[in-house]
Structure 1
Amino acid sequence: MTPDTDTSTATAGLDLDKLFAARLHAVRVRPFMATALFALHVVESRQVPTMAVDRHWRCYVSPAFVARTPVEELAGVWVHEVSHLLRDHHGRGDRVAQANGLTGPGERLRMNIAADCEINDDVFGDGLVRPEDAVGPWSLGLSAGELMEDYLRQFRLGTNTRNVTWLDCGSGADGLEREWDLGADGAHGLSAQERDAVRFRVAQGIRARPGNVSKRWQRWAEEAFHPPQPWRELLGAAVRSAASGSGAGEDYTYGRPSRRSAGVPGAVLPSLRRKPPRVAVVIDTSGSVSDAELGSALHEVAAISRAVGGRRDLITVLPCDAAAQLVHPLCRAAGIPLMGGGGTDLRTGFAKALRKGPRPDVIVVLTDGQTPWPDTRPPCRTVVGLFDRQSSSTSWDENDPDYVPDSPPAWARVVSIGSATPAR
């Protein structure tokens, strides 16, 4: 049977009873994933080695794999595959590939391995059996608890990965379409709105019973309910601005040959690769900023990290009230101590961010706006994230009923955090 054959009319080779029994077992032990598991449409395919998914929420299944695999182990594979889709590994893989010039099936295999490491370090146990050949951080001698983008920088294909060259979780795991994919116009795919609805329902299930869910999934659910603002687009503009300066394109790469190669027959010339920007994030920790807003700021820090391709080494975080606190390199956003509570003067944060070497290409300020601003424009791009106070009971009063905060200066790009559209 070919991949585009409707499984409702021809499933002679695939033991659907066993496959769906495994899915029921997965639902029993991971009830918050029920909506996502039942949203997957099964397509029989003898081209996939085990089970694989595409970005349109189809699950391609090998009949031979189902026949030889116990139900309890199949349940773990169900959860594993749908986790790729919930965590948007295909979209993230596309972004990493574009940002770093990664091409070819070898690089996509690395992404698949890195995505498996992100999932498998906490998906098994509590009713789900881990297969003997499952790929995880332990397989590569790496630390647990990191993201796909982090793992991707820590290993290359070689002797430590030769036993997993068979691995293929499909285009839903790395973004590269396979020959068996039905594509965007194929039958039984979910629309973008339907995919978002599924993720939202899963996030609801996690928040309803957080005690039964791993910390990683709880953080994922929080981001699903409070999606970060469009820092990707803003920082993309900052990258283009920073790249226009001298030295921005000093790294050579053969991943994208130079256009001048056409003038030198028989030779392939490398092109210059633009470096992602260094970002300094100044977070307002004054007494007028609520705990909820500080939590929102940490969500935005995580989004900024993804916007620069997961390069956490390029991001520093500076808590600031009336005085700038310690500068923190970004390891985990959840582990940054946001101390403060006094008055507000983010000018000290700007000054310290610019003194801290190397100088940032972009300064991102997350604040309620109740602060004086620098008199002169910093020598780098500035983005201001304002906590949305339109629906908040928080007052603008700082011991002065007539107090009105200064608006951010005209040289800053302003976005309202909690609002779907930029403030300016």
Structure 2
Amino acid sequence: MRRDAPGPAPAPTPEPAPATPAALDREKLFAARLHAARARPYLATALFALHTVESRRVPTMAVDRYWRCYVSPAFVDRTLVEELAGVWVHEVSHLLRDHHGRGDRVARERGLTGPGERLRMNIAADCEINDDIYGDGLVRPEGAVVPASLGLPAGLLMEDYLRRFGLVPLTQSIAWLDCGSGADGLDRAWDLGPEGADGLSEQERDAVRFRVAQGITGLPGSAPSGWRRWAEDAFHPPQPWRELLGAAVRSAASGPGVGEDYSYGRPSRRSAGVPGVVLPSLRRRPPRVCVVIDTSGSVSDTELGSALLEVAAISRAVGGRRDMVTVVPCDASARIVHPLCRGEGIPLVGGGGTDLRTGFATALRTRPHPDVVVVLTDGQTPWPATSPACRTVVGLFPRRHSSVNEDDPDYVPDTPPDWARVVEIG
């Protein structure tokens, strides 16, 4: 055997297998959620309502409007439990404060389109949240945006912050920010959508918000001012009162029997069955509306001006027939009935006490009789003991204090009667 004969070729060195991406450390993630719930117990219901979805497409953590929380495994690995707790609270805050719905509304109203504007919304929403949620056992995560970092004051809402900054060099360091569609309303590629698994229905989302608001109002002084303001709005949401007032007037004016009367202008078809007799037909005319305006001293000039604007809106609500609308100024006594020809020319004279019973009596004596009586008042008045023979709508000006009688500190004004449809104005 020759010594210089070549031996067998060495086996090739195998290439190292690609590293398997680490799975999501759910134990660490859920430990952080428990820490968040202990630090902010009034948010526990919302924190445990979130459904976790592992996603390697998410930079950190993000939420969608259906209360799914998308989590990056790499982000969980490199982040301390204490900071993860702060991220949990931050993300669920976007959903509780309806930043996705508000972002959609702002985009429509202001014509904001494109990812750049949605990034501004995300930053503005973060400023609203981060100005007062950290501290007291909750660590602020690294890179969290606060208003001071953009030279902005604390305590504003997302809509206010949006007007105060643009995408300038100061915001370049946070261009990576992405809290998901739950923060600005713009769908992401990783979203499972409305048909995906484990999303909350609209009713379930509302129930979670209500439970959290109950927890905040039930423990006064334990929540930051931003959360107390949110809880108050959750229990008493702002209402589009002009639309509500117009709808109430239209509903009252279109009720059964309103504006209906028999007329010989067009004989009834049943006359053919009664030879020699002409029967009237039931016709519907535009409803007549009488507006009683409280002109007492407790109603400000601004509110009186607003009342005149509402009179014009009421005329539009019943089809624009100004000749079918009359106005009665009233304080302790009711004065003459003014036809609505030009709302700005109606003299609202008064300034004394308030007794709208006389206003009702004057309105009901009007000929022809009104089909609907609308009362614009601050509510500091006695009311008729019985329901008038027509529909009634009451528009109430807001009042901070119920006791306005200096001679009787315990005085509490009567509330509007049950037979009236009441709409809060302002």
**Interval containing the TM-score (normalised by the shorter chain):** 0.5 to 0.7
CA distances 1:369-414 after superposition (whole Å, capped 9, x unpaired): 98689955546xxxxxxxxxxxxxxxxxx7869556574379xx97
In structure 2, what residue type is equivalent to 1:204? Q
Determine the structure 2 residue equivalent to 1:259: none
Q: In structure 1, what is the Cα distance between the partners aligned to 2:330 and 2:228?
A: 32
**What is the CA distance between 1:20 and its match in structure 2?**
0.2
* Kept after mapping to 2: 8 A contact 1:140/1:160: yes
CA distances 1:187-227 after superposition (whole Å, capped 9, x unpaired): 00000000000000000100111211111211111111122
Determine the structure 2 residue equivalent to 1:74: 84
The 5-angstrom pairing of residues 28-43 of structure 1 reads 28-43=38-53
In structure 1, what residue type is equivalent to 2:177? L
Does 1:197 pair with 2:207?
A: yes
Determine the structure 1 residue equivalent to 2:235: 225
Q: Could you tell me which runs of 5 or more consecutive residues in structure 1 were left unpaired when the two chains were aligned.
A: 1-10, 238-283, 287-320, 323-342, 356-360, 364-368, 380-397
In structure 2, what residue type is equivalent to 1:408? V
CA distances 1:119-141 after superposition (whole Å, capped 9, x unpaired): 00001000111123111101110
| Overall identity of the aligned pairs, in % | 66
Determine the structure 1 residue equivalent to 2:348: none
Does 1:136 pair with 2:146?
A: yes
Determine the structure 1 residue equivalent to 2:409: none
Change in 2 beyond 3 A, CA 1:354/1:232: closer
Change in 2 beyond 3 A, CA 1:344/1:422: closer
User: Quick one: which of 287, 293, 298 aligns to 1:344?
Assistant: 298
In structure 2, what residue type is equivalent to 1:122? D
The 5-angstrom pairing of residues 390-401 of structure 1 reads none
Does 1:20 pair with 2:1?
A: no
* Kept after mapping to 1: 8 A contact 2:147/2:154: yes
In structure 2, what residue type is equivalent to 1:344? S
Q: In structure 1, what is the Cα distance between the partners aligned to 2:86 and 2:71?
A: 14
In structure 2, what residue type is equivalent to 1:18? K
Determine the structure 2 residue equivalent to 1:311: none
**What is the CA distance between 1:353 and its match in structure 2?**
9.7
In structure 2, what residue type is equivalent to 1:61? V
Q: Could you tell me which runs of 5 or more consecutive residues in structure 2 were left unpaired when the two chains were aligned.
A: 1-20, 248-292, 315-328, 345-352, 364-372, 377-392, 399-415
Determine the structure 2 residue equivalent to 1:330: none
Change in 2 beyond 3 A, CA 1:354/1:171: same
CA distances 1:326-357 after superposition (whole Å, capped 9, x unpaired): xxxxxxxxxxxxxxxxx4345664349999xx
* Kept after mapping to 2: 8 A contact 1:89/1:173: yes
CA distances 1:254-313 after superposition (whole Å, capped 9, x unpaired): xxxxxxxxxxxxxxxxxxxxxxxxxxxxxx9x9xxxxxxxxxxxxxxxxxxxxxxxxxxx
Q: In structure 2, what is the Cα distance between the partners aligned to 1:183 and 1:110?
A: 23
The 5-angstrom pairing of residues 37-56 of structure 1 reads 37-56=47-66
The 5-angstrom pairing of residues 170-319 of structure 1 reads 170-231=180-241
Q: In structure 1, what is the Cα distance between the partners aligned to 2:178 and 2:313?
A: 38
Determine the structure 2 residue equivalent to 1:148: 158
Q: In structure 2, what is the Cα distance between the partners aligned to 1:209 and 1:167?
A: 33
* Kept after mapping to 1: 8 A contact 2:246/2:313: no
Q: Look up the SS of the partner of 1:161 in the other structure.
A: helix
Q: In structure 1, what is the Cα distance between the partners aligned to 2:246 and 2:177?
A: 33
Determine the structure 1 residue equivalent to 2:267: none
User: Quick one: which of 112, 123, 126 aligns to 2:133?
Assistant: 123
In structure 1, what residue type is equivalent to 2:223? V
Determine the structure 2 residue equivalent to 1:408: 374
* Kept after mapping to 2: 8 A contact 1:344/1:370: no
Compute the TM-score of the two structures, normalised by the length of structure 1: 0.59
In structure 2, what residue type is equivalent to 1:24? L
Q: Look up the SS of the partner of 1:408 in the other structure.
A: strand
**What is the CA distance between 1:236 and its match in structure 2?**
12
Displacement over 2 Å in runs of 4+: 227-237, 343-355, 369-379, 398-410, 413-419, 421-424
Change in 2 beyond 3 A, CA 1:40/1:352: closer
User: Quick one: which of 91, 96, 99 aligns to 2:101?
Assistant: 91
Number of residue-to-residue matches in the alignment: 284
Q: In structure 2, what is the Cα distance between the partners aligned to 1:22 and 1:84?
A: 18
Q: In structure 1, what is the Cα distance between the partners aligned to 2:167 and 2:354?
A: 61
Larger CA Rg, structure 1 vs 2: 2
Does 1:165 pair with 2:131?
A: no
* Aligned-CA RMSD value: 3.9
Change in 2 beyond 3 A, CA 1:51/1:233: farther
Q: Look up the SS of the partner of 1:220 in the other structure.
A: helix
Q: Look up the SS of the partner of 1:52 in the other structure.
A: strand
**What is the CA distance between 1:64 and its match in structure 2?**
0.5
In structure 1, what residue type is equivalent to 2:143? D
* Kept after mapping to 2: 8 A contact 1:111/1:174: yes
* Kept after mapping to 2: 8 A contact 1:48/1:60: yes
The 5-angstrom pairing of residues 352-367 of structure 1 reads none
Change in 2 beyond 3 A, CA 1:157/1:57: same
Q: Look up the SS of the partner of 1:129 in the other structure.
A: coil
* Kept after mapping to 1: 8 A contact 2:65/2:182: yes
**What is the CA distance between 1:229 and its match in structure 2?**
2.4
Change in 2 beyond 3 A, CA 1:400/1:158: closer
Q: In structure 1, what is the Cα distance between the partners aligned to 2:199 and 2:78?
A: 28
* Kept after mapping to 1: 8 A contact 2:46/2:209: yes
**What is the CA distance between 1:103 and its match in structure 2?**
0.4
